[in-house]
Amino acid sequence: MENIFRSVNIALVNELKVVYEAMGIDVHEVLDAADTKPFGFMKFTPGPGLGGHCIPIDPFYLTWKAREFEKHTRFIELAGEVNTNMPAYVVDRTMHALNTHKKAMNGSKILVIGLAYKPDVDDMRESPTFKIFDLLKKMGAEISYYDPFIPEVLPTREHGQYTGMKTVEWNKDTISGFDAVLISTNHSTIDYAELAGWSDCIIDTRNAMSGIEPDNKNHIFKA
């Protein structure tokens, strides 16, 4: 029940993020405003998709069981659809960011920050970053990743092609060599102010760059 509750509410806020972006509204500002209400609101934050061994999987046990009783779990399935589609939205926003800088996705070097499915852990099970990897590669991008908790990608059941891939080093020369940096997981150990000075094209899926003023308006893109 708890996993279903989170899955549905995360899907709702992810869907609103896409709608608000089309309207030119920052979903995080709306969430912060709503969170000032002293009752009746529980804050969920959007992201690039779901990961981990619970929320992306557990709700569908009930979906499977419900079919035995000829019942349809429409909320659960719709939430799964919305959350599963978020990596594609992130990649679309990445393409928009590159276009703003007069660069094509094909041939661009993109650094993805965060392989773990949530901040400050080394757990990459069901991480949406892998789906983002797949989509970026399919469009011709050259991908690398930085994750202080995962120095090397160990063998996985579904993403064996990335086995042995290693994190890049965190320094100005390395980071500034990428055409774009995509923040997929907002680890607290990362110096985002430092990142802002090293990259002129940052796609932020976690609001990690909040409060950091870029040098120009085409520096940071919400996704």
- Enzyme catalytic residues: 54
Q: How far does CA 190 lie from the centroid of its chain?
A: 16
3-state secondary structure (DSSP) of residue 129: helix
Give, in order, the Cα–Cα distances in Å from 209 to each of 7, 27, 78.
Answer: 25, 14, 30
How many alpha carbons fall within 13 Å on the CB side of residue 133?
A: 21
DSSP code, position 123: -
Handedness of CA 30, 33, 37, 38 (dihedral sign): positive
